[in-house]
Chains A and B, each alone.
Chain A
């Protein structure tokens, strides 16, 4: 029974990793750059939700879409102001740039008086509720995570499959220049992709906030989304979620079955093994570089 409980906890945690990893993958596919700021975007989303609900007193169901919209706008703005001027530079410059944005975001949140330096609780309507299924008692906040993740994945799938903008994004991610020649506004799409990635990260933050406390360092969870993205194959959206859940479950079981300490590094051990055995991930095909 404990075992199942651990698996369920792992799935909930893994969905968070998966959601952050979706952000990585979206950005990686669109612009072939890696964003180290995803974890901080998640933290910003959680904080924005907190400020809207507790300080301004906006009801939860209004605060969530407001946070989402604000974060999407923020992501769009980040791309416009910082990322797009140096697209095409060596990839590592952009990595450093996103690290810098992360620094600023973390520091800026810490500078907010009172809120920034202490642990905070996000009041959500489903707090402290639980569901009993056949002897298992599952906290509502853990059940909500996979449900929202599944809904979000469905929405993303429908968007990429059926809407004009989704198809345009797919085209741009296959070949930017070809998409550009076809009249697709690639630059605007890149901004939109960053907006989407920030939005997904904000959702992850709002979902994670009831499970753990909000603090300015929660963005470091984003580093565990890299293993998720790599396990899933870096360029595959379903792979990101599957990778995230895999990492989450392995981590949770490692905490349950193995001695103390293995839980914290389980994700990294998995990613190292993955890189040695199948660098392209579970969903990445075998491709060779042609000269």
Chain B
């Protein structure tokens, strides 16, 4: 068991709460920094993919998990980022500038989508984001002169001020650095007044407003930040995949992103990465287990979607706090070893806030 004696107020908001944090996250960072030299290329490309989805998941987590606004069209922001990156790279922009432009354009689109959030809430907002995502996707399909329409678009190599590289190892380190930066950025945002305002809006709009939080400003800001992270992830995935088509950024992708935050654990930073790991690893596990399953089950195309669905149902029914919540329970069990009670972390029944007005 570990007791933390608080001797200064800074300890309340310090990122590394105790030496265990420093040790384990240091170990994780060290492992990730040597990974591309140790692991086979395929495995390190999976890690890269996980990091990219982790960034997008962080964005959606900020919006859904911390501000309480749900978006069923987040893939559209990824699409905006990816296409912006593709077009600018083709025009010879250096990678960092193109990346920044992708993020800014996604944020701008996100702010526009955030506008209905001021008038509608809950379910209606979800439908508004869904509708907007379909429109964005259709624009990408029809704007053939720029995006290549349904035929798709090839994305050029990363251009670092004249030095062009397609090396997966360099790309791995770029993604790694950006993942660390965004994670730290989001963590810092969450302990700033802005982040506290987000959480206040999630918990109760009325009381947030009465405490002086301007709903319009913070909701739009949350949408913009979240969309810019999705755009960043989209831009990176464009370089990763080398070829992008509009249907990569459709409703199925949006639901996959929701899967990340839901299975990972709503309202936790870890959750975004756990969820991304789940999303990337499941198809691999299915591919590996195909040889052992009877062909009537193993060889069909529907297996992955059945598995995703069942896992999602199981999590919503039995572990609504996601993989992270389960992990916290396991960790607490070990920390308190003989003293852990069964209902120690039992969730309180959070009753639904009714949206019905009569």
Residues of B contacting A96 in the complex (Cβ-Cβ under 8 angstroms): 258, 262, 312, 316
A90 CA / B64 CA spacing, docked (Å): 12
**Complex partner residue of A107 from B124, B304, B351, B353, CB under 8 angstroms:** B304
Residues of A contacting B218 in the complex (Cβ-Cβ under 8 angstroms): none
B110-134 with Cβ < 8 A to chain A: 116, 119-120, 122-124, 126-128, 130-132, 134
What 0/1 pattern do residues 126 to 154 of A give for CB contact below 8 A with B?
00000000000000000000000000000
- Interface: B167 (CB within 8 A): no
- Interface: A265 (CB within 8 A): yes
**Interface stretch (choices B41-49, B92-100, B177-185, B294-302):** B294-302
Given contacts A96-B262, A226-B130, contact A111 B297 (CB under 8 A): yes
Residue of B nearest to A224 (CB): B134
B313 pairs with A106, CB closer than 8 A: no
- Interface: B330 (CB within 8 A): no
- Interface: A97 (CB within 8 A): yes
B312 pairs with A97, CB closer than 8 A: yes
**Interface stretch (choices B18-26, B135-143, B156-164, B223-231):** B135-143
A116 CA / B352 CA spacing, docked (Å): 38
- Interface: A245 (CB within 8 A): no
**Complex partner residue of B128 from A32, A267, A272, CB under 8 angstroms:** A272
Dominant SS among interface residues on chain B: helix
- Interface: B303 (CB within 8 A): yes
The size of the chain B interface, using a CB distance under 8 A, is 53
Residue of B nearest to A103 (CB): B309
Residue of A nearest to B349 (CB): A88
B349 pairs with A117, CB closer than 8 A: no
Residues of B contacting A202 in the complex (Cβ-Cβ under 8 angstroms): none
Residue of B nearest to A116 (CB): B302
A102 pairs with B309, CB closer than 8 A: yes
Closest 3 CB pairs of A and B: A103-B309, A110-B302, A107-B305
Q: Which residues of B contact A (CB under 8 A)?
A: 64, 70, 116, 119-120, 122-124, 126-128, 130-132, 134-135, 138, 141-142, 206, 251, 255, 258, 262, 296-297, 300-313, 316-317, 320, 349-358
Q: Which residues of A contact B (CB under 8 A)?
A: 32, 34, 82, 85-86, 88-97, 99-111, 113, 116-117, 174, 216, 220, 223, 226-227, 230, 234, 260-261, 264-265, 267-269, 271-272, 275-276, 279, 287-289, 291
